[in-house]
Amino acid sequence: MNGPRTERDGRTRATVTVAWILFINKPIYPLYVWYLVDHAAAVSLASVIAAPFFLAIPFLARRSPFLARLALPLVGTLDTFFETRLFGTASGTELFFAACIMLVALNFHTHEKKWQCGMAIFVFAVFLLSRNWAGVPLHAWSSNELAALLNLNALAVASLMAFLALRYAGVERLSASPDTTQS
């Protein structure tokens, strides 16, 4: 027995695409880390923890497009915070907060401005928490390993942001509120 499905707008379809891409790439990231820092492969496996949450977003979109669009930057932000705790700020994982902010800028309709502003503040607050109070990484990395991780993460963030710009290009923002409770 399936519940009602709602029609997906362009932003929700883009959200679903991005969630699938992130889900598919989650298990690949530890392979890159293993290639660059072979003894840290086991540590990097912890980064796969967020995969089920990204996988849930396309299914959530069937019931509530708004909640799916809200969940993507939320899950991304929490995942980025966890990755930064795992790898440390010098690894460049904090750069993914930029992609989360970009998702906040792209994922919401005009009538969802309050939610968009709230999510922007949330992502920035978590970034500040990560930057100032995250503590030492859960694994000790050498300076060469951190340089390799920084290069990997900088390339990954640039690739993700380019993908976001291409995927959301031309997607219209709805201005009329179908449900005023979300404004």
Q: What is the dihedral of CA 29, 35, 36, 40, to 10 degrees?
A: 70
- Helices assigned H by DSSP within the chain: 10-25, 29-36, 41-44, 51-63, 65-87, 96-107, 113-133, 143-168
pLDDT at residue 8, as a whole number: 75
Q: Does 33 map to a domain?
A: yes
The closest alpha carbon to 93, from 124, 63, 64, 131, belongs to: 131
pLDDT at residue 132, as a whole number: 86
Q: Does 93 map to a domain?
A: yes
Which tens digit of pLDDT belongs to each residue from 121-155? 999 999 999 998 877 887 788 999 999 999 999 99
Q: What is the dihedral of CA 13, 19, 22, 24, to 10 degrees?
A: -90
Q: Does 114 map to a domain?
A: yes
CA angle 55, 138, 74 (to 5 degrees): 30
Domain that holds residue 31: 10-169
Query: What six digits make up the tokens of 101?
Result: 């902010």
> Whole-prediction pTM value?
0.88
Report, as ranges of residue numbers, the positions in the chain whose pLDDT lies below 50: 1, 179-181, 183
Q: Do residues 74 and 19 touch, judged by C-beta distance below 8 A? A: no
Cα 106 from Cα 182, distance rounded (Å): 16
Encode 118-145: b = buried (16+ Cβ within 10 Å), e = exposed.
Answer: ebbebbeebbeebeeebeebebebeeeb
Q: Does 45 map to a domain?
A: yes
Q: Does 174 map to a domain?
A: no
Q: Does 5 map to a domain?
A: no
- Tally the domains of the chain: 1
Q: Does 180 map to a domain?
A: no
Q: Does 179 map to a domain?
A: no
